[in-house]
């Protein structure tokens, strides 16, 4: 980004911040703030100016207006002395934060193949799963959850209830393990009244605890068996051997179970017969694997477990995309399209010089540019390409 | 709720409760009195035995309380024990002591909370009382005496040290922020809470002159501690009393885990596996090995037995061989290496090598 382009982007960002309605986080005066400016280091070197604090909303608003930062962050944590150096801040608690980003959701090769739009669709699906975990498993209220488009390739969830504020790093990691299905153990869900192995020896059917992952596992078991029953024998064998690491003999018995209507009827009611040990182990492996693939969420672990992390300020701009870090409501999330709804700049034509090939679909319109071209595009497209490092003014 | 828990006869069984320390405060017994007055000699001796029992048995026996005086002495013995353990300033002893207190209380709680029939309401009461004490929001499931539910936040506060996978949050049926626990599981979590509380401000900052004044107690304890640490290896002499396996020849990685287990420090799964396989390989019995795990903070006899038997190959599989030095290194279990380590690539070879070396030296000494 040359200096002239930088100045242009800066003017645009200033315009935005002049009228923007920033979502001030709860207890903002106890938070640490950090910013990256559109200065002469930008964007080659991102210099984070952190350990800032603001006593009033006005002070913060003025700061944003004056500096029109490329990136703006606040701490998930609240501190006694937010502007002190790290060791002396006096940690008082932190919001529970989740970060879902394309890097963690699709593999590197997929990242290259997928278009930006496809990535955003993938991430959105993962976010829907996370919302389900938060509302149904963890019992958070919609009003306690702040859902935010990250301004780039993902979504954040902030939860700032008094309850979660005190959680330490290890406790947060347990929560991450929960949503990622890490360490999931089907045996732990066998409902036992008397002692955790006492009932293993009885004869009556087993039941899975019908909550949380127990529910997902039971559904996974039923789905898997149905799938197996409908498959060609050979394919079913292959599948079972692959996901359940089963021997031929045991895979065959499972197929038999899957095709047995009376057994399946029981299983659908949540009554699981006492299979032989090897069969049970194979089923456990297969179900756990398939359920994890389907239901587990791939959040960025360190973001959640780091209790001193900085997170993007909602309604600020993302300096690498020019899109807004947009707070969303769960009801409107389904209909949200970041490439439309997070666009903040206008439509007046701007002439740009393209420095490398690129394309983007913004506000329903696709723009494809080629290196060396000089083209006139709407302002929001121009700023987007400039922030991406695709074009200069 | 009845006031039964405020009765000294009951309170002294749970001396770490806030009500117990309040009672000690209100009794007017000064520190000066506690450490020197002849009247409290019984409390001091009991305080000492709290620690020696922790050293020797890994738990603290709860006496049958038959008089108010005895209850008072029992109650006062706790702050005195804390002073003693603080003067000794041995971190491993602090952990072991706190763990022993917590385990003893856990056992008592289990007993009290599982009473049925006419004492059933008292048994529910003690569960309520503990949840209040440690700020764990808990309620019994409707129409249930055996299961309670707690919010996940309170659950997490006390369970991140419990290694077994059934304690992992992902393996608890979590619905609308709450999870169910059997009463015994709840009491197990209370043990963690108790342990945290007891350990929290230990060692206390006790002035030097006070430590000096009670040195005749601390000296005895130090002696016990020394003896325990020197005793045939790691506390698993065979029934015959003869030490067949020679722990002094164990490689440092194995000794390290064993001493951690002995002190009640939580040991990661991989290290447990290594130690179990190693000890089985050199010929310890399963019972002996289970005995070693008894001190572990999340000890569960049945599970431990299952795992040991699995590693021993009882379940129709093969017996596992202890992991090699390379594997130990990969999982960060290779610690405190010495010069013999450089000569071997397997912990078992270390053991054989050192045994031979030792025998040679003994032979030499005899002939000299």
The complex's ipTM?
A: 0.89
User: Could B175 and A197 be called an inter-chain contact, meaning their C-beta atoms sit closer than 8 Å?
Assistant: no
With contacts defined as CB-CB under 8 Å, which chain B residues touch A182? 170
Nearest CA of chain A to the CA of B10: how many Å? 28
Report pLDDT digits (tens) over B8-17. Answer: 778 889 999 9
Report pLDDT digits (tens) over B25-48. Answer: 888 888 888 888 888 999 999 999
pLDDT over 90, % of chain B? 30
Mean pLDDT of A60-88: 95
Closest partner CB to A139 (pick from B146, B178, B303): B178
Report pLDDT digits (tens) over B288-318. Answer: 888 888 777 778 888 888 888 888 887 666 7
Closest partner CB to B175 (pick from A137, A183, A189): A137
Domain borders along chain B are 1-89+213-230, 107-202, 232-367
User: Could B174 and A189 be called an inter-chain contact, meaning their C-beta atoms sit closer than 8 Å?
Assistant: no
Q: Which residue has the higher pLDDT, B204 or B295?
A: B204
Q: Looking at residue B50, what is its pLDDT?
A: 94
DSSP code per residue over A240-261 = HHHHH---HHHHHHHHHHHH-H
- Yes or no: say if A363 and A336 are a contact pair by the CB < 8 Å rule: no
Query: Which of A72, A13, A99, A117 has the alpha carbon at shortest distance from A325?
Result: A72
Residue with tokens 């666009």: A343
Report pLDDT digits (tens) over A292-311. Answer: 988 888 898 889 989 999 99
Nearest CA of chain A to the CA of B118: how many Å? 21
**Which domains does chain A possess?**
3-177+299-340 (3.90.920.10), 186-291 (no CATH), 345-393 (3.40.5)
Which three-class secondary structure state does DSSP give residue B353?
A: helix
With contacts defined as CB-CB under 8 Å, which chain B residues touch A163? 151, 153
Q: Is B152 on the interface with A (CB under 8 A)?
A: yes
Active site residue A223: no
- Paired with A33 in beta bridges are A52, A74
Catalytic annotation, pick one of A300, A306, A341, A347: A300
Region of poorest pLDDT, from A130-134, A170-174, A378-382, B66-70: B66-70
Active site residue A300: yes
Mean pLDDT of B197-206: 90
Closest partner CB to A137 (pick from B156, B174, B302): B174
Q: Does residue B244 have a pLDDT over 60?
A: no
Residue B80 CB neighbour total at 10 angstroms: 24
- Yes or no: say if A281 and A243 are a contact pair by the CB < 8 Å rule: no
DSSP code per residue over B46-111 = HHHHHHHHHHHHSS-PPPPP-SHHHHHHHHHHHHHHHHHHHHHT-HHHHHHHHHHHHHHHHHHHHH
Compute the distance between CA of residue A15 and CA of residue A10 in angstroms, rounded to an integer: 9
Report pLDDT digits (tens) over A257-268. Answer: 899 999 899 999
Active site residue A340: no
Q: Looking at residue A309, what is its pLDDT?
A: 93
Q: Looking at residue A195, what is its pLDDT?
A: 40
Strand ranges inside chain A, DSSP E: 33-36, 49-52, 71-75, 77-79, 91-94, 96-101, 145-149, 154-159, 310-312, 327-328, 349-354, 358-362, 365-369, 374-378, 391-392
Catalytic annotation, pick one of A39, A99, A205, A223: A99
Q: Is B163 on the interface with A (CB under 8 A)?
A: no
Mean pLDDT of A327-348: 93
- Yes or no: say if A377 and A322 are a contact pair by the CB < 8 Å rule: no
User: Could A175 and B176 be called an inter-chain contact, meaning their C-beta atoms sit closer than 8 Å?
Assistant: no
Q: Which residue has the higher pLDDT, B353 or A140?
A: A140
- Yes or no: say if B228 and B53 are a contact pair by the CB < 8 Å rule: no
> Angle at the Cα of A146 (from A22 to A306), degrees rounded to 5?
100
Q: Looking at residue B160, what is its pLDDT?
A: 86
Which residue from A minimizes the CA distance to B300?
A196
Q: Does residue B319 have a pLDDT over 80?
A: no
Q: Which residue has the higher pLDDT, A199 or A225?
A: A225
User: Could B169 and A185 be called an inter-chain contact, meaning their C-beta atoms sit closer than 8 Å?
Assistant: no
Q: Looking at residue A311, what is its pLDDT?
A: 96
């Amino acid at each position: 980004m040359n200096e002239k382009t930088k100045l242009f982007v800066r003017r645009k960002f200033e315009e935005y911040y002049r009228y923007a309605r920033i979502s001030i986080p709860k207890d903002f005066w106890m938070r640490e703030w950090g910013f990256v400016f559109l200065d002469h280091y930008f964007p080659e070197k991102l210099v984070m100016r952190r350990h800032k604090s603001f006593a009033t909303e006005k002070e913060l608003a003025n700061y944003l207006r004056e500096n029109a930062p490329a990136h703006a962050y606040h701490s998930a944590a609240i501190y006694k002395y937010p502007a002190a150096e790290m060791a002396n801040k006096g940690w008082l608690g932190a919001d529970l934060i989740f970060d879902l980003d394309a890097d963690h959701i699709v593999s590197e090769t997929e990242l290259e193949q997928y278009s930006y739009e496809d990535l955003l669709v993938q991430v959105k699906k993962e976010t829907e799963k996370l919302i389900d975990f938060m509302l149904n498993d963890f019992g958070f209220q919609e009003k306690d959850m702040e859902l935010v488009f990250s301004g780039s390739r993902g979504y954040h969830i902030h939860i700032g209830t008094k309850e979660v504020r005190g959680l330490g790093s290890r406790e947060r990691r347990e929560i991450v393990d929960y949503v990622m299905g890490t360490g999931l153990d089907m045996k732990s869900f066998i409902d036992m009244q008397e002692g955790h192995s006492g009932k293993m020896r009885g004869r009556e059917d087993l039941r899975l605890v019908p909550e949380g992952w127990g529910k997902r596992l039971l559904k996974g078991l039923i789905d898997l068996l149905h799938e197996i029953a409908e498959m060609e024998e050979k394919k079913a064998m292959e599948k079972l051997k692959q996901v359940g690491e089963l021997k031929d003999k045991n895979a065959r018995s499972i197929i038999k179970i899957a095709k047995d209507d009376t057994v399946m009827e029981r299983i659908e009611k949540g009554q699981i017969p006492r299979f032989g040990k090897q069969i049970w182990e194979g089923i456990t492996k297969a179900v756990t694997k398939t359920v994890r693939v389907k239901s587990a969420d791939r959040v960025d672990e360190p973001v959640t477990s780091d209790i001193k992390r900085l997170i993007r300020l909602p309604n600020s701009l993302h300096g690498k995309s020019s899109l807004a870090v947009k707070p969303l409501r769960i009801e409107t999330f389904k209909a949200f399209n970041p490439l439309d709804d997070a666009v903040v700049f206008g439509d007046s034509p701007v002439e740009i010089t393209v420095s490398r090939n690129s394309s983007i679909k913004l506000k329903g319109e696709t723009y494809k540019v080629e290196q060396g071209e000089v083209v006139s595009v709407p302002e929001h497209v121009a700023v987007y390409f400039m922030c991406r490092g695709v074009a200069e003014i | 709720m009845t006031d039964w828990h405020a009765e000294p006869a009951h309170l002294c069984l749970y001396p770490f409760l806030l009500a117990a320390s309040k009672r000690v405060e209100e009794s007017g017994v000064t520190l000066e009195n506690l450490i020197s007055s002849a009247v409290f000699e019984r409390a001091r001796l009991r305080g000492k035995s709290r620690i020696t029992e922790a050293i020797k048995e890994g738990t603290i026996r709860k006496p049958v309380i038959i008089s108010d005086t005895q209850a008072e002495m029992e109650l006062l013995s706790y702050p005195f024990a804390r002073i003693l353990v603080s003067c000794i300033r041995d971190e491993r002893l602090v952990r072991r002591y706190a763990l022993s207190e917590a385990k003893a209380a856990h056992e008592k709680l289990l007993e009290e909370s599982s009473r049925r029939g006419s004492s059933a309401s008292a048994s529910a009461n003690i569960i309520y009382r503990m949840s209040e004490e440690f700020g764990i929001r808990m309620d019994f499931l409707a129409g249930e005496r055996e299961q309670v539910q707690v919010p996940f936040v309170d659950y997490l506060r006390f369970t991140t040290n419990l290694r077994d996978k059934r304690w992992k949050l992902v393996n608890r049926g979590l619905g609308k922020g709450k999870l169910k626990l059997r009463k015994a599981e709840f009491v197990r979590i209370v043990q963690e809470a108790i342990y945290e509380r007891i350990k929290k401000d230990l060692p206390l900052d006790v002035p030097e002159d006070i430590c000096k004044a009670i040195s005749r107690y601390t000296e005895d304890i130090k002696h016990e501690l020394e003896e325990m640490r020197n005793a045939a290896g790691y506390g698993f002499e065979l029934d015959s009393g003869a030490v067949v396996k020679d722990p002094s020849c164990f490689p440092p990685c194995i000794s390290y885990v064993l001493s951690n287990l002995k002190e009640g420090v939580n040991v990661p799964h991989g290290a447990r596996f290594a130690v179990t396989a190693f000890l089985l390989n050199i010929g310890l019995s399963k019972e002996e090995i289970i005995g070693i795990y008894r001190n572990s903070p999340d000890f569960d006899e049945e599970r431990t037995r299952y795992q040991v038997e699995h590693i021993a190959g009882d379940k129709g599989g093969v017996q596992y061989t202890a992991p090699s030095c390379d594997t130990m290194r990969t999982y960060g279990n290779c610690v405190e290496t010495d010069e013999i380590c450089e000569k071997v690539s397997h912990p078992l070879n270390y053991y054989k090598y050192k045994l031979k070396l030792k025998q040679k030296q003994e032979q030499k000494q005899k002939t000299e």
